[in-house]
């Protein structure tokens, strides 16, 4: 490898490291609804501090529907349903000073690990009020439809037995 190529490789590596550093220093989540920072990932855990809507947090780790995060000088757990993810590309570029924060966003991949979602995570009342129907998406669900014969075949393969029950027996008027 020529000296010039070695220099180019070093420059690229340095740029990537600067980009990752800028992203690492950037907040990863913002509080979508007022919530509490807790000592453990449980609703009955001690409250460390109350978090206002819009507060910025730095993610440490995720466990189920909870995020361990740094909020100021305290580290604790927050329900993921109460948070929004910060756009790392925009956030990192704004905070880095050198404008290289976007490099970290190039390498951010979607997670294949289980994700807990509850309700309408991160949507405001205004966003919900402005929601529009998506008939094409509903039609796309047709690809998951099965016939009665396909359903019976699947049930037989799993050794399932049919049972009759009244759907309305517990219904209240």
Verdict on whether the full-model pTM lies above 0.85: no
Angle between helices 88-96 and 3-25 (to 10 degrees): 100
Q: Look at residue 37 and tell me whether its pLDDT is greater than 90.
A: yes
Q: In this predicted structure, which of 3-12, 19-28, 89-98, 158-167 has the lowest mean pLDDT?
A: 89-98
Of 70, 71, 66, 108, give the one whose Cα is nearest residue 87.
Answer: 108
Note the pLDDT of residue 138.
84
Note the pLDDT of residue 23.
41
Q: Could you tell me the domains of the chain?
A: 28-85 (2.30.30.40)
Q: In this predicted structure, which of 7-21, 58-72, 125-139 has the lowest mean pLDDT?
A: 7-21
CA atoms of 132 and 127, how far apart (whole Å): 10
Note the pLDDT of residue 39.
95
Query: b or e along 54-79 (b: 16 or more beta carbons within 10 Å of the residue's beta carbon)?
Result: ebbbbbeebeeebbbbbbeeeebbbb
pLDDT (tens digit, 9 = 90+) per residue, 81-105? 899 988 655 444 444 444 444 444 4
Could you list the beta-strand ranges (E) of 39-111. 47-51, 56-63, 66-71, 74-79, 83-85
Note the pLDDT of residue 140.
87
pLDDT (tens digit, 9 = 90+) per residue, 108-153? 445 555 555 555 456 677 877 888 888 888 888 888 888 989 988 9
- Say which DSSP state 106 is in: H
Residue whose structure tokens are 């490789």: 9
Are 82 and 55 in contact by the 8 Å Cβ rule? The answer is: no
Note the pLDDT of residue 112.
52
């Amino acid at each position: 490898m020529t000296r010039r190529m070695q220099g180019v490789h070093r420059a690229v590596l340095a740029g990537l490291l600067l980009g990752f550093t800028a992203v690492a220093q950037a907040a990863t989540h913002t509080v979508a609804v007022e919530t509490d920072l807790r000592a453990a990932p449980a609703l009955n855990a001690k409250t460390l501090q109350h978090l206002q809507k819009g507060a910025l947090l730095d993610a440490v780790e995720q466990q189920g529907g909870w995020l361990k995060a740094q909020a100021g000088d305290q580290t604790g757990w927050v329900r993921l349903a109460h948070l929004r993810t910060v756009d790392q590309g925009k956030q990192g570029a704004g905070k880095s000073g050198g404008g290289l924060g976007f490099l970290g966003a190039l390498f951010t991949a979607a997670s294949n690990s289980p994700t807990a979602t509850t309700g309408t995570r991160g949507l405001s009342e205004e966003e919900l009020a402005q929601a529009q129907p998506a008939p094409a998406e509903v039609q796309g669900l047709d690809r998951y439809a099965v016939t009665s014969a396909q359903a019976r075949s699947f049930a037989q393969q799993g050794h399932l037995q049919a049972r009759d029950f009244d759907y309305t027996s517990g219904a209240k008027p």
